[in-house]
């Protein structure tokens, strides 16, 4: 691989100086990405149309990907541990999915009627996730969660939604600590994640108006924090007891076992939301669950609920998704990559423990997040820039995502780069300078 030139790392300097040097090295190594970003700023605010992809001083412009490697505009190659924020589970340019897409492109794209793959794809998802008795498609995880929430409100005749601090359920459905001024106008109550006593009390308080409890069984964007099984089981039991729907957002976590994290944990939600990788890399979302609820969308009924969307069953996603679910995402492949992720997380934590630095890696299987002391934004910036300089592409927030093409040699490379970061930055990580 063609790697970016490593920046000079000096010992015994302040965190601010270390970040400045890392940024200078990044800028020097990536003139084409910088130029592309500056040009983009003339037409898009901040040169960006997807907030999470931006990081300062500017994001890398990616031009090509194959398997577990991405290439930027300056000719550098990186092992892709960002993984399209969990969407890229199949890796880049998967041959089976690529062939399915190329075949569909020969026959027309959108034709205004049911497609030949719709039913087979829906059946494949219902077979994979036992809680799905019926499913409907949409275009993103955001849409899936919006539709699931409105389904719960229509089914129960209630309006209150319980969500959890740190959760991200899509654009307008983000619940960071301290709140958000960009939220959709649902009547929400926000509970601390993994706080069973508080959640139980809030459900009891709102039992007559509660429409749904919406939760990720592991916080994804919120730091890959697994939900305690007793906490999740209590939410399922208490919500269903008071007539509310228990909704699992598995847009990210459904990759953590062949039947989703709900299968691994033994949960049976009323509704499940899906997205990301299940569309084979195309824009995709889905929501589904109990037949008696989902059948209210049956347009043969005079009082059917309306669910429109021009691209809900676009032929490219249907073809790519069916190929991905039935031919690529085998039980063996998913179990292997999640086992690899568990080993990687243990290795990273062992590096930090041996060095005696306050760094912790949380997660399950192929999804994890590296947490530094107080989640200091400068330390996270330094972590990302140092790893990028070592040819390892990760998210600014420390999230690490594996893809199916990855091997032990790939994860060993990340462990080595992380060990070098910990060794060279130990005084900054411990605050002893």
Question: Is 249 noted as a catalytic residue in this protein?
Answer: yes
Contact 155, 293 (CB under 8 A): yes
Nearest C-alpha neighbor of 320 from the set 131, 129, 115: 115
* 78 catalytic per annotation: no
How large is the C-alpha radius of gyration of the chain?
22
Catalytic-labelled residue, pool 168, 193, 277, 393 = 168
Q: Would residue 277 show up in a list of annotated catalytic residues for this protein?
A: no
Among the listed residues 276, 381, 386, 410, the single catalytic one is: 276
- Please identify which of the residues 67, 74, 80, 249 carries the catalytic annotation: 249
- Angle (nearest 5°) at CA 206 between 130 and 252: 35
Contact predicate 81/393, CB 8 Å? yes
**Of 277, 230, 271, residue with least CA distance to 91:** 277
Active site residues: 168, 249, 276
């Amino acid at each position: 691989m063609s790697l970016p030139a490593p920046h000079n790392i000096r010992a015994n300097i302040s965190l601010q100086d270390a970040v400045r040097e890392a940024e200078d090295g990044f800028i020097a190594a990536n003139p084409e990405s910088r130029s592309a970003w500056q040009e983009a700023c003339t037409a898009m605010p901040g040169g960006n149309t997807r907030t999470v992809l931006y990081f300062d001083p500017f994001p890398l412009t990616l031009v090509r990907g194959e398997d577990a490697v991405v290439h930027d505009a300056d000719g550098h190659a990186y092992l892709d541990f960002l993984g399209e924020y969990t969407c890229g589970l199949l890796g880049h340019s998967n041959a089976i999915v690529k062939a399915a897409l190329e075949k569909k492109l020969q026959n027309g794209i959108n034709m205004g009627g049911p497609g030949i793959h719709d039913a087979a794809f829906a059946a494949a998802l219902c077979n994979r996730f036992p809680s799905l008795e019926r499913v409907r498609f949409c275009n993103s995880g955001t849409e899936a969660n919006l539709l699931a929430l409105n389904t719960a409100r229509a089914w129960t005749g209630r309006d209150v939604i319980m969500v959890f601090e740190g959760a991200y359920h899509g654009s307008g459905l983000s619940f960071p600590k301290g709140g958000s001024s960009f939220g959709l106008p649902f009547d929400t109550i926000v509970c601390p994640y993994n706080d069973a006593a508080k959640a139980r009390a809030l459900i009891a308080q709102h039992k007559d108006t509660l429409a749904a409890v919406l939760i990720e069984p592991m916080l994804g964007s919120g730091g890959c924090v697994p939900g305690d099984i007793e906490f999740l089981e209590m939410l399922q039991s208490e919500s269903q007891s008071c007539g509310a729907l228990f909704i699992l957002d598995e847009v990210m976590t459904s990759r953590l076992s062949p039947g989703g994290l709900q299968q691994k944990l033994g949960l049976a939600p009323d509704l499940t939301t899906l997205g990301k990788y299940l569309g084979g890399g195309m824009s995709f979302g889905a929501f589904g669950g109990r037949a008696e609820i989902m059948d209210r969308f049956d347009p043969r009924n005079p009082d059917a609920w309306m669910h429109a969307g021009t691209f809900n069953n676009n032929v490219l996603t249907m073809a790519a998704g069916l190929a991905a679910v039935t031919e690529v995402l085998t039980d063996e492949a998913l179990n292997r990559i999640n086992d690899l992720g568990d080993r990687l997380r243990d290795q990273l934590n062992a590096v930090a423990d041996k060095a005696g630095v306050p760094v912790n890696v949380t997660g399950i299987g192929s999804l994890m997040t590296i947490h530094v002391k107080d989640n200091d934004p400068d330390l996270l910036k330094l972590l990302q820039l140092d790893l990028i300089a070592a040819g390892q592409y990760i998210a600014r927030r420390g999230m690490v995502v594996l893809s199916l093409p990855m091997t032990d040699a790939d994860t060993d490379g990340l462990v080595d780069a992380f060990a070098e970061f910990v060794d060279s930055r130990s005084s900054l990580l411990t605050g002893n300078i």
